[in-house]
Every structure is written in C-alpha cells, then in structure tokens.
Structure 1
Amino acid sequence: MVYIYDTTLRDGAQTRGVSFSLEDKLRITQALDDLGIHYIEGGWPGSNPKDLAYFDKVKKLNLKNSKIVAFSSTKRKKIKVEEDPNIQQLIKTEVPAVTIFGKSWDLHATEGLNITLEENLELIFETIKYLKNYFDEVFFDAEHFFDGYKSNPEYAIKTLKAAEEAGADCLVLCDTNGGTLWYETEEIIDNVLKEVNTPLGIHAHNDADMAVVNSLIAVKKGAIQVQGTINGLGERTGNANLCSIIPNLVLKMGIKTIPEEKLKKLYEVSRLVSELSNRPHPVNLPYVGDNAFAHKAGVHVSAVEKNPKMYEHIEPEKVGNRRKIMISELSGRSNVISKARELGIELSKDAPEVKKILSRIKELEAKGYHFEGAEASFELLLKETMGLTKKYFELKGFRVLTEKRSENEEAYAEATIKVEIPEDVAKERNIEERVEHTAAEGRGPVEALDKALRKALEKFYPSIKEVKLTDYKVRILNEAAGTEASPRVLIESTDGKKKWGTVGVSPNIIEASWLALVDALKYKLMKDEEGEESNG
C-alpha cells in the first residue's frame, strides 16, 4: 500500500503568484478528501494566522478519507521542546498526524542553523520524541537529504537514525533542491535501506524535471508514502505532480493506493486547484490537461475513430478527462465528421458538406484563423455552411473614435453602430423598426464597440444582457510586418451557465475584435434558439 500525501496547501501555496484564501483551502481539502487522498498537509500553524485558522475550521468538515497533517520545523536551539511556541501550536491543532522537517545536509546545520552536527541530531531526536506523546503519527521530512547524502553520506544517515530512534513513523527523503537524477535516487535509496528499518517516503521537487520519475522510483524501491501537489504547484519549478503520480501508480504500476474508481475525480480536482490558484489550467499536463487526449492531425483522428488505443495510452474517462478532436489546417475529413458528431450532427465521409466545411476551414486558417481556442466560431461555421442556423442581424456600419483631451486624462473611446434585423424576427417580436442606430462609450475601442453592439441588439434579443466578456487576447500573426501586421483576436464569453470562445482575424484590430464579438453573440442566440426548440 502506498499512501498519498498532498502538500498543495503548504508547498503548493509557495508558488509565485498563488495565495489561497481560508475558504479556498477548505474547498481544496474537501475535494482532496473526495478524491481519496490519504494525508492532507494543511499548513504550518506557527507561521501565520491563516494556517492557524484553517486547523480550527477544518475540524468542522466531515472528511471521510483523509487525515489532516500539521507541519513544522524541529524545535529551536537553546529552547526546551516543551517551551517552543511552534511545537505548542502543533499540539493545539489536535490533528492526528504531524510532519517535522529537519536538516540532513551538514551544510545547512553548520551554516544555516549555525549549530554543531551533534546539536542538529539532538533537535531532531528531542522534537520527534516529544511529539510522539501527542500524535498518532509523526513523519520526519529529511530536508535536502539527497544533496546531504552526496556531501556527507554518513551524517545524512545519522539524521535518519536519530528520527528513527525517536519513534518517527515514516522517514521522508527530500530532494529539496530538485536536482537529483533518477539513477542517483535509485542508488541512494538502496544504500538507505541497508541502514534503517523505518518505512520510507519521498518528497521531490522538479528543478531537473525529475520529480515524478524520482517519486515512482522511490515507490519501486519500497517507499510507502509519496508527497506532492496537485498540478505540480510549488516553489521555483514546482513539486512532484500528484496528477501524474497517482494514475501512474494505479493504472501503470498496479500499485494499491487510492481506489481506481476515485481516479475519475482527478481532472475535476486539477481544474478546481487551477481555478482557486487564479491561474490558467495548464493544457499540456499529462492525464488532466485539456490537450492530454486532444487529436489534431487527420491521420490520428481517423485512427482514434477506429480504435482509441492507436493514439491514447489510457481511456481518458478513467481520470475524468475526455477526448477532444481539434479543427485546424491539418484537419482531415475524420476531424470534421467527429466534431460534427460531438454537436449531434451525423455526416458521412462522402457528404458534400464535409468537403465544403473542410475547404472553408483551410481557407480561413490560411488567413490566420485559429479554431482550437474558438470552438464556438467553428460550430457557427459548420452550422452556417450546412444551413442549420439563421441570420440574426446584419451590420449596416460602425465607427469607433478614440479621444484623449489632455496629458493627465485617460483616453476614452466612443462607438457608433447601425444594425438591421431580418424581417421575420421583427414580425415575430412585433417590432416595426428593424434598424437600430446607437452609440456607447468605453475605456477602450473594443469595450465601446461591445457596448454599442449589445445596446443595439438588446431591444430585439433581451438574452444578450446575460453575456459577459471574460477574456480578450490579441496575437500578432506576421510580426515582421510591423504596424501592418494582422492581429488575431480570441474572445472568451459566458452567460453564467457556460463559457465559449470565438475568433476574428483582420489587418484592422477593431474589425478583428468586431468579428469575434459578433460570433460570441450569434453563438448565444443560436444556443438559446436550440434550447427553445428542444424544450418545445
């Protein structure tokens, strides 16, 4: 049995730019418990008020699978262990387990703590011995163990033995600097196993891109505890990524750890942590990234349609992910047919619409369009090409002005727009005047244009009020052209129920933005109409 020890709430929270609120930490704790994680390190109660509050609030959660762990250093030098405030804060948490980190690299003892090597061993022994009276389990994180072993193997082993003699339940070997290579990990663990009898754990950082493999090697050598974080969050380049380690252990190595049926929650937990970290979810993460089971080349798609094993190492559903068929200039007929099927449209390989859609995609992508992040624009293109959606409005013209009245005032923009709706829409809504001519202001030209367009259309389509623009990205396609370069605008929108992406390309950035904005609103109207038809 291998126990998974999550340190997202402490080590992961040390990621640059990440700051979990107390509520975030509690939500992540509940999600990790649902996933079946064995140990959740809640933080260092002696380091800040937020972590102290967490240990008070977490007691009220009805956790079913996880044990909460408190974290701290060994006692301070020249202070009795029972008088050390950090140690006493640990005891007040009343959690079932605690992790103590201590120096196993002689360099850190003599230069970092400015104590003798023997004094360092005493800190480790006395702290763990004392805490064994208050906790069911006490784990020893041997900080910088691998570097310490390379520098002074005899002393590094002595730190483990001090913890073992004090009663530590697990000796966790830490690659704190993250620079140890796999063959070094293997050799060092073999040597450690000859010296101690207490079960081993592994805590790896990813500075040499070795954290996951070093963790798996440690398990292969007999480690019973693996520490890591969701999505590999952590200082510098991060910690070992549990979203890779867990499925590798369960699905590839056949090792008993969290139940296989719990793996279906992995993608969901990964996305939650990204959301609460206020960071984009990394699309290229193995297992849980949005590209992990995405297929773009036509040959790949054709093969996956016949047998997914040809290009997928596991079934994506096992980790809660799903297969995605991408549309691009590399797309073949299989991509279009598969994508249409996702939208509930059945097309045969020989259907004339397939060739027409494929030709249109390649024509647009030659101009710089990019549908991989704008699936709403693709769905509109497909349905418009097949005559499955109608025209909701027609542009009769727009103008955007930007003005800065003085050096100290911010510039502002004003957009004027004229649109016309089809006759059948006007009759349906009992509206006589089909043309709407209006204006709006904004801090920038795109905001002004967006407001003016909505203002013009809300009279005819009230549900447009629900749409909010949540992200706006501009990419220059031909940078060498300088100010004549063509921009591609990607927009993400939401109506509070779902999100969708749209794209626009033009040598004029305002027109590119307009095209993406129009698609965003047309997509909303199309989905509303489809919903009405299905309800009817």
Structure 2
Amino acid sequence: MSNQIFVFDTTLRDGTQGEGISLSAEDKFKIALRLNALGVHYIEGGNPGSNSKDIEFFQRVKQHNFNAKIVAFGSTRRKHSVAEHDASLNRIVDSGVRVSSLVGKAWDFHVTTALQTTLEENLAMVFDSISYLKQKGLEVSFDAEHFFDGYKHNPEYAIAVLEKAQEAGADWLVMCDTNGGTLPGEIFEIVSNVKSRMKTPLGIHTHNDCELAAANTLAAVQAGAVQVQGTINGYGERCGNANLCSIIPNLQLKLNYRCISDNQLQQLTSVARYVSEIANVNMPVNQPYVGTAAFAHKGGIHVSAILKDPKTYEHIEPELVGNKQRVLVSELAGQSNLLFKAQELHLDIDQDPEKTKLAIERVKQLEHQGYQFEGADASLELLLRQEFGELEEIFTLDSFKILVEKNANHKVASEAIVKLNMHGNTVYMAAEGNGPVNALDNALRKALEQFYPEIRNMHLSDYKVRVINEKDATASKVRVLIESSDANTKWSTIGVSENVIEASWDALVDSMRYALIGKQPLEPANSQPPTRLGLVNH
C-alpha cells in the first residue's frame, strides 16, 4: 500500500468561518498561490455563487495554471427536489472547477431535526446529488457531516450514508468530526471499521473543540484514511479546524507518510506566517513547528546543551519545516545564552568572559526594571553590540516636545518636535500625527531621512503597551513593544518607563537604530546653523 497522503486545504472556505477572519477575493487568490507552491493536492476555494468574493475567486483561478486541484464547495440537493434543478449544485457545475466537495448529513438526529426530513429522503439526497455531479464529469469528495456522532448514535445509518455515496460514484468518502468531540481512540476504531466495509478511499475532517483535531487526524490516517482535510494555522469556526501546519510534518517526519516534497516542507513556516499576515491574525508564538518560539531556548542549561548538540532539546531540525533555532536572553540566561546570541549576530567578542559577564548583568538589571528581551530581539542585539563596543551611534537626542490639542469640534491633533544631533549637525523637525507616538515617529523619521533615505523602506507594523505594576494605577510603569518591518524582515524593540511617551520613544529609537545598522549617512545638504526644517502633515 502506498504511503502517499493527499492534503486537502480548506483555509479559504472553512478557515474563513473563524471569528475575526475575513478574506477578500485578492487575499484568497494570493493564499491559493502559496498553497499551490506548498504542494497541497486540493484547495477548497469556497461556495461559488454564495457571495461576490467567491464568484470573483473562481473566475480568477481559471486564468492560472494550478498544480493543485481547485475545489468548489456545496451541499446535497434540497429535500423533495430534483438535483438537476438545484441552484447550489448548478453553481458548482457553472464555476468551471473539476472537483466538488459536497456535504451531506450522516447523523440521523440532524436529518430529522435540522433537515426535518426522513432518513430515506436524506439517502436519496446524497445519491442524487453525487450522481448529478458525476454525470457532469466532476470529481466528488463527499463530506459526511457529523459522521462520528452519527456513528456513535446509529452506526448502521451512518454507514448507510457512506454506502449510498459510494454507490453514486463518490471519489472520496470524508468522515467529519464536525462538533470536534470525538477522542483519538474512538476515531481509530470507527475509521478501521469503515475501512473494512468501503472500497472508496477515505478522508478525515476534524475540528479542534477538544484540542484533539491533529491527534484525531493522525489516528484516522493510521486506521486507513488517505486524505487529510484542514486549514493553515488551524483557522476555523469555534475552536478551529485541524491544523495542517502540525499534521503535515507529523505525518511526514514522524510517521513516514508522504504528503509533500521535502523542499516544499521547508516552505511550511513561511506559508503559515504569510497566511497569518494576510488574515491579520497574530500567530501564537508557541505554535508547534512554525511558531517563533517552536525552537526557542531560554534556560541556561538548555542552551549549554544545544551548543553541544541541538538534538538535546529539539525533536527535529528546525530547517526541515523552514523554521530556525532561537536563543532567548533574559534574567534566566547564563553565559551560554549570550555566547550563542553573539555568535548568531556574528559579533567578534573573542568569548571575552568579563564582557560576557557584564552583558549578562546588564540584561538582568534591565529585566528587573521591566524589560523582556525574548520579545525584543532587535533591542537585545543593539544592547550586545553596545556592550561589546560594536555599535555606532547615528544620533543623540537633545530634546523632544509634544503638543496635543483638542478643539471645539472635538478633534484631537498631535504635533511632535524633535531636536537631534546627527554627525555634528543639529537637526530640528516637526511633524503631525494621529496621536503623540505617531507624531514622534513621523518627526524622527523625517529627521533621519535627510541622512539615511533607507528609513523610508521600513514601517511600524505593531504597537503594544503593557502595564507592569498595575497597583500603581496611572503612575504604573509600562512596557512598550514595537514591531517593525521592511521588504525583507521584521524586528521587535522595547522601551520601559513610568511615562508611556518615553517608553514609546525608546522603542522607536531602537527600531530605527536597528534598521540603519551598517548604513552609511549621506553628506548633509549644508552645515548652516540649526533651523526648523519644516512641518510635515500626515
């Protein structure tokens, strides 16, 4: 028996049912291109005709040559009707796809309660709908909705639904744990039984309501399923769908099944993060395999060991899934952490024990004040470069002022004025912004642009404020984390103060200092006495 497993991605359909996720037709097309490059076998694009976005998506994919099969989703015909006249089925046919994913009821309770029809009529709905699509030349994947709940309640009827789909010519019989309440042992037992009674290839579609969707998928494969359905990052309704970013490497690296090529597997982390960006949903840092903390090490004993051999604390090589090893530096850090980080940054420190000791003490002092460098790699790099004498200051602050005005029309305006010393030049710059931090960002950026035009290529992508000691109320110390990015990379910086503006300024400055490491300044246009260089409106 072949060990090939077929990957059926439903991020663009089931994934969009997750709370807070909305994808435009352009978003869906971009994600489809990345999924195609990843090597998934099926990409379910949505329900054609149900909304304008899905209509546009299916029109666009016709113009591109996908290796993956594009799938249109629909449901069985309406009760007491004719398949040929069913609008949902005809939209699938008219969409131009060659593969359909058709959902039908497999739980007798749902048939009588949700559909309010007879068990016999439901069987006819399944048979007629699949037969009609097969007559139109489509490959049909039948999703037996609530199959496992139905099997536990009335196994013979659940099996009868699959048998009727098989009789109608379905190419796939996909068993769905729609409510996500089945356990892996149950999945294995039920799928094994179904496998012994069916000739049609089996698939599995699980939900994560018990945090078991990935485990249930693996159990189904071990019992004989050869198609796995899921979404990137586990997006989906309620608690989400089975996470393909865990399922694919588990199947391929742990169980020796074949899902995608080794080169494609190395794209997994970048695809996961790309989809996260498009969906505008932050990935959990501890997401297995693809999270930024999946191969991150903080404890000094751990780091000392991985410096000898990464296998001591890593279950796979991170590069197999396109991720990388990270060492975090914090108050728990030992010398090993700093040495590793310095090596990672290519700092020539000659493993100076005294400098390393002082750097560790500096980190610990700052973390005692509220800094957390494991979430601010760029600030940590700047600190290390400074401690080891490899950081050139590009400017120093003379002063900054912020004006906030609320007028009679209840509009609030912010203006920031910064005075900097840059390479012997005193630079004034003023700028407006949506708020005081945005105004500071604009003013600092415009001041730097005169000497470092590259600063135009970076932007702030996230801004977070955390209260450190809540008991002090409005006088509490705050931690500001800023994430910045350019066309190639992202980095995070930190500032801590009792004053949120000062904390924001420190994080802003670090962000721009990091962006300009290694950059050479332009010659100033003139060296006249300092003047106010202008007011920039944003």
TM-score, normalising length from structure 2?
A: 0.92
The code of the aligned residue for 1:39 comes to Y
Tell me the equivalent position of 2:413.
Answer: 412
Contact 1:413 1:441 in 2 (8 A): yes
Give a deviation string over 1:290-349, Cα, whole Å, max 9, x none: 111111111111111111111100001111111111121111111111111121114454
1:183–1:487 distance in 2 versus 1, CA, 3 Å: same
Q: 1:170 aligns with which of 160, 168, 172?
A: 172
How big is the shift at 1:236? Answer: 0.8
- The alignment partner of 1:16 has SS state of coil
Tell me the equivalent position of 1:522.
Answer: 513
Residue 39 in 1 paired to residue 42 in 2? yes
The code of the aligned residue for 1:80 comes to V
Q: Cα RMSD (Å) of the superposition?
A: 2.1
How big is the shift at 1:506? Answer: 1.0
The equivalences for 1:129-168 within 5 A come to: 129-168=131-170
Residue 99 in 1 paired to residue 101 in 2? yes
1:441–1:208 distance in 2 versus 1, CA, 3 Å: same
How big is the shift at 1:517? Answer: 1.7
The code of the aligned residue for 1:491 comes to I
- The alignment partner of 1:528 has SS state of coil
Tell me the equivalent position of 1:201.
Answer: 203
Which residues of structure 2 form unaligned runs of 5+?
524-538
The code of the aligned residue for 2:411 comes to E
User: Hey, what's the Cα distance between the residues in 2 that align with 1:97 and 1:460?
Assistant: 57
1:173–1:137 distance in 2 versus 1, CA, 3 Å: same
Contact 1:211 1:239 in 2 (8 A): yes
Residue 125 in 1 paired to residue 127 in 2? yes
Q: 1:302 aligns with which of 296, 301, 304?
A: 304
1:27–1:495 distance in 2 versus 1, CA, 3 Å: closer
Tell me the equivalent position of 1:49.
Answer: 52
Q: 1:372 aligns with which of 365, 371, 374?
A: 374
Tell me the equivalent position of 1:253.
Answer: 255
Tell me the equivalent position of 1:319.
Answer: 321
How big is the shift at 1:531? Answer: 13
Tell me the equivalent position of 1:356.
Answer: 358
Contact 2:347 2:385 in 1 (8 A): no
Which residues of structure 1 form unaligned runs of 5+?
427-433
Residue 469 in 1 paired to residue 470 in 2? no
Comparing 295-304 with 190-199, which one deviates more in the overlay? Answer: 190-199
1:531–1:330 distance in 2 versus 1, CA, 3 Å: farther
Tell me the equivalent position of 1:221.
Answer: 223
User: Hey, what's the Cα distance between the residues in 1 that align with 2:288 and 2:22?
Assistant: 24
1:59–1:405 distance in 2 versus 1, CA, 3 Å: closer
How big is the shift at 1:499? Answer: 3.0
Identity %: 54
Tell me the equivalent position of 2:491.
Answer: 500
Tell me the equivalent position of 1:191.
Answer: 193
How big is the shift at 1:530? Answer: 10
Tell me the equivalent position of 2:65.
Answer: 62
How big is the shift at 1:444? Answer: 2.1
Tell me the equivalent position of 1:478.
Answer: 469
How big is the shift at 1:198? Answer: 2.3
Tell me the equivalent position of 2:287.
Answer: 285
1:222–1:461 distance in 2 versus 1, CA, 3 Å: closer
Q: 1:333 aligns with which of 332, 335, 352?
A: 335
User: Hey, what's the Cα distance between the residues in 2 that align with 1:62 and 1:313?
Assistant: 37
User: Hey, what's the Cα distance between the residues in 2 that align with 1:333 and 1:316?
Assistant: 23
The code of the aligned residue for 1:516 comes to A
1:417–1:58 distance in 2 versus 1, CA, 3 Å: closer
Give a deviation string over 1:181-232, Cα, whole Å, max 9, x none: 1122122223323433322211000011110011000000011111111111
User: Hey, what's the Cα distance between the residues in 2 that align with 1:461 and 1:96?
Assistant: 53
How big is the shift at 1:404? Answer: 2.5
The code of the aligned residue for 1:288 comes to V
- The alignment partner of 2:113 has SS state of helix
Tell me the equivalent position of 2:28.
Answer: 25
1:492–1:161 distance in 2 versus 1, CA, 3 Å: same
User: Hey, what's the Cα distance between the residues in 2 that align with 1:267 and 1:250?
Assistant: 15
Tell me the equivalent position of 1:431.
Answer: none
Comparing 171-180 with 52-61, which one deviates more in the overlay? Answer: 52-61
Comparing 474-483 with 211-220, which one deviates more in the overlay? Answer: 474-483
1:316–1:383 distance in 2 versus 1, CA, 3 Å: same
How big is the shift at 1:385? Answer: 1.4
